Amino acid sequence: MIRSRILGTGSYAPRKVLSNKELESMIDTTDEWITTRTGIRQRHIASDDEPNSLLAAKAGRNALEMAGLSAEDMDLIIVGTFTPDMPMPSTACLVQAELGAKRAGAFDVVAACSGFLHALAIADKFIKAEPTQKILVIGSEVLSRRTNWSDRSTCVLFGDGAGAVVLAASEEADSGVMSTHLHADGRLWELLTVRGLGTSCMVDEDMLKQGLHYIEMNGREVFKHAVRALESAAMEALEANGWSGEDIDLLVAHQANIRILEFLRERLGLPREKVFINIDKYGNTSAASIPIALDEANRSGVLKPGHKVLMVSFGGGFTWASAAVTW
């Protein structure tokens, strides 16, 4: 049986760090409120000359290096993002050029915070259909450019960064990507959205004045849906693989809020050390959060061959997804 396998991971975060303390001088908030309500202590912010594609390419290069492959070995580059450099071309095409991945096709996937797991699911199916394929899968966001820095209910949450994996076929039946599941409920789109910059409204002064180019979120409602959807995504993945909570060696869930991660940990009956947490350092980096966490877990030696890894995400759309991987 052909399975796809992660050959390398990589990540990149912009050098500039914005701490909760610094936010205290920008808006009416406190380090204590942000830390206890969200678990976030700081976030990375891209500088003006760092577009999404640059972050994505750096993460991609790191993943290729670990995999021992060159950009020219890649058949496909998929980037999960909702903060592209521009509407056209795709960020994936710009990454393809930046890396010199001459043979690779390239496209973006838009599924907000579930973007990376959607991209991973597509890459997994590609490899099963064509086992010679080697695919670079990236989740990358520059959310700071879509953040309303005068809205304290959202601006404390987000950060910039990128993470990547290199996928290729493996004949080992009991390791690699074991399952992927994707879900959406588009009826609830207004609870988490960037209304402007698309074709449903004109880009004009009025639109900019209303701040429609910024992320809008009904935090309380999103929270309720997120916990339910993440739990159901986790249960679906466990059932599909005949795993129980006890079988999981590491839960790598979307880093949106420490309280959501704690809820999920309890529902799955996991001890604290089996839930990977880096929200304190990065905030919510949307599609980049899972691959950054995966890379940190991998490089720090937390992940070991044979480990059962459960990844789950939830985001705007709404979208939610899972991937179960035996490392």
Residue 73 three-state SS = helix
Under the rule (CB under 6 A), what is the footprint of ligand COA?
29, 33-34, 37-38, 113, 152-153, 156, 219-220, 222-223, 226, 256-257, 260, 284, 314-315
- The continuous run of DSSP H or E covering 261 comes out as helix 258-268
Active-site pick, 113, 118, 155, 298: 113
Q: Of 94 and 230, which has the nearer Cβ to ligand COA?
A: 230
For 49, the token pair is 């000359």
Q: Of 59 and 260, which has the nearer Cβ to ligand COA?
A: 260
Any catalytic annotation for residue 284? yes
Q: Of 65 and 190, which has the nearer Cβ to ligand COA?
A: 190
Query: CB of 173 within 8 A of CB of 50?
Result: no
Q: Of 38 and 96, which has the nearer Cβ to ligand COA?
A: 38
Shortest separation between residue 232's beta carbon and ligand COA, angstroms: 15
Alpha-carbon dihedral sign for residues 297, 81, 67, 46: negative
Active-site pick, 44, 254, 257, 298: 254
Query: CB of 57 within 8 A of CB of 92?
Result: no
For 235, the token pair is 């249960």
CA dist 296 and 285 (Å) reads 14
Shortest separation between residue 124's beta carbon and ligand COA, angstroms: 22
Q: Of 4 and 38, which has the nearer Cβ to ligand COA?
A: 38
| Alpha-carbon distance values, 310 to 89, 162, 214, 247, 253 (Å) | 33, 20, 31, 10, 8
Shortest separation between residue 209's beta carbon and ligand COA, angstroms: 23
CA dist 206 and 223 (Å) reads 30
Any catalytic annotation for residue 181? no
Shortest separation between residue 284's beta carbon and ligand COA, angstroms: 6
Shortest separation between residue 18's beta carbon and ligand COA, angstroms: 13
- The continuous run of DSSP H or E covering 170 comes out as strand 161-170
Residue ranges of E strands in 13-63: 17-19, 42-44
Contacts of 242 (CB under 8 A, 6+ apart): none
By beta-carbon distance, which residue lies closest to ligand COA?
Answer: 219
Any catalytic annotation for residue 254? yes
Catalytic sites, residue numbers: 113, 254, 284
